[in-house]
Amino acid sequence: GAGVSQSPRYKVAKRGQDVALRCDPISGHVSLFWYQQALGQGPEFLTYFQNEAQLDKSGLPSDRFFAERPEGSVSTLKIQRTQQEDSAVYLCASSLAPGGMYEQYFGPGTRLTVT
């Protein structure tokens, strides 16, 4: 069956540009998570959706970061006025139950490079 997909897989942006990263979770999964992963580090939590509701956005590093999941399925992470420190892999994960009660299934990630 289809897993979590993300697009684009790679994105190069010039400093100051806006970017939009897409996540297609597993069909029927209630929970959706966004993480940021720097090289050689574990994922860092950014934000969590339960269906269309964004229940936790405590990990978003600044107000330049914005996420939405308007119909409770596909989600988009938008970064405005990108900075070099935004360069990282952005991982999306989905889970069947609310609140991450069960294991999370990860997409392949989007590698963002800001030049």
C-alpha 6/C-alpha 1 separation (Å) is: 16
Which of 36, 27, 20 lies closest to 72, judged by CA?
27
Stretch in the footprint of other proteins (CB under 8 A) among 12-20, 64-72, 75-83, 107-115: 107-115
Q: Between 43 and 82, whose beta carbon lies closer to other proteins?
A: 43
β-bridge pairing 19-24 and 75-79: antiparallel
- Residue 36 touches other proteins, criterion: CB under 8 A: no
Site track 39-78 with other proteins (rule: CB under 8 A), x = hit: -xxxxxx--x-------x----------------------
